[in-house]
């Protein structure tokens, strides 16, 4: 079973992930109305590029935008969660050992202690965000079962991985569950809200370009950041 989930099933999951992300990117770009204000966009291209880069960079750092500063604790836990979600799967020692076995190369790895801390922080951040959804009426009102399902999909690899790494009695079960949960995340990304993995950059670039071109680039006082 382990050989299957880390072999053919893993390859299938990565194929769906990469193809799905490419398709979502193409569909997003094709969905933009490039004919709208085409004269303005063609003349002020440099403002557009600067605006897109500035928008992405500002939203990549905590408290760099007004929206972030107005929700300090929410911002803190969101960034903690996303840092863990991105760094841990890529630089985890166990994942890179598997990468070496399957493809013959590996990446730089995090110390196991750091990986454990990041994993725990992701789980704590998710708990905080769930409690926030329950406690705040304005957030609870727009939260559906689908939102909780997406959260569960995202955090499941961390919970199962932590259990497996802490010497659970049924190690084989938990490590297989961990791999399958990770593959579910890969497959889910192109088809669910987890697609903001890539759409975040596209949407921020679009908004930044629009502000940069239509409001005079860097001189604008009304920009979204």
**Strand, coil or helix: 35:** coil
Q: What separation in angstroms does the CA of 148 have from each of 153, 176, 194?
A: 9, 23, 12
Half-sphere exposure for 211 (CA within 13 Å, toward CB):
21
Q: What separation in angstroms does the CA of 44 have from each of 49, 176, 213?
A: 9, 53, 6
For residue 192, give the H/E element and its range. Answer: none
Q: What's the confidence (pLDDT) of residue 33?
A: 61
Q: What's the confidence (pLDDT) of residue 48?
A: 65
Q: What's the confidence (pLDDT) of residue 160?
A: 93
CB 51 within 8 A of CB 212: yes
Residues of the chain with pLDDT under 70: 32-48, 212-225
CB 202 within 8 A of CB 178: no
Radius of gyration of the chain (CA): 20
**Per-residue pLDDT tens for 126-177?**
999 999 999 999 999 999 999 999 999 999 999 999 998 887 778 889 989 9
Q: In the CATH scheme, what is the code of domain 2-216?
A: 1.20.950
Q: What's the confidence (pLDDT) of residue 218?
A: 44
Residues 171 and 178: their CA atoms lie apart, in Å, by 10
Question: Per-domain residue ranges for the chain?
Answer: 2-216
Helical H runs in the chain? 2-6, 8-30, 38-43, 45-59, 66-70, 72-91, 93-103, 112-135, 137-140, 145-165, 171-188, 196-214
Q: What's the confidence (pLDDT) of residue 19?
A: 96
CB 211 within 8 A of CB 220: yes
Q: What's the confidence (pLDDT) of residue 209?
A: 75
Q: What's the confidence (pLDDT) of residue 87?
A: 87
Tokens 């979502």 map to which residue?
24
Q: What's the confidence (pLDDT) of residue 204?
A: 80
């Amino acid at each position: 079973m382990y050989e299957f989930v880390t072999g053919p099933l893993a390859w299938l999951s990565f194929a769906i992930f990469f193809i799905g992300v490419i398709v979502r990117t193409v569909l997003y770009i094709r969905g933009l109305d490039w004919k709208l204000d085409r004269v303005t966009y063609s003349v002020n291209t440099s403002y557009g590029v600067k605006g897109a880069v500035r928008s992405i960079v500002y939203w990549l750092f905590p408290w760099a935008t007004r929206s972030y500063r107005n929700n300090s604790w929410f911002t803190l836990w969101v960034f903690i969660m996303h840092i863990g979600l991105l760094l841990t799967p890529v630089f985890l020692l166990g994942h890179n050992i598997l990468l070496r076995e399957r493809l013959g190369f590996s990446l730089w790895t995090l110390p196991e202690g750091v990986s454990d801390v990041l994993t725990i922080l992701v789980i704590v951040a998710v708990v905080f965000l769930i409690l926030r959804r329950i406690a705040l009426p304005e957030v609870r009102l727009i939260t559906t079962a689908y939102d909780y399902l997406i959260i569960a999909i995202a955090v499941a690899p961390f919970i199962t991985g932590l259990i497996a790494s802490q010497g659970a009695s049924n190690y084989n079960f938990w490590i297989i569950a961990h791999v399958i949960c990770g593959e579910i995340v890969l497959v889910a990304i192109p088809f669910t809200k987890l697609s903001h993995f890539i759409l975040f950059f596209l949407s921020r670039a679009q908004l930044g370009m629009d502000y940069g071109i239509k409001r005079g680039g860097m001189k604008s006082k009304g920009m979204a950041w």
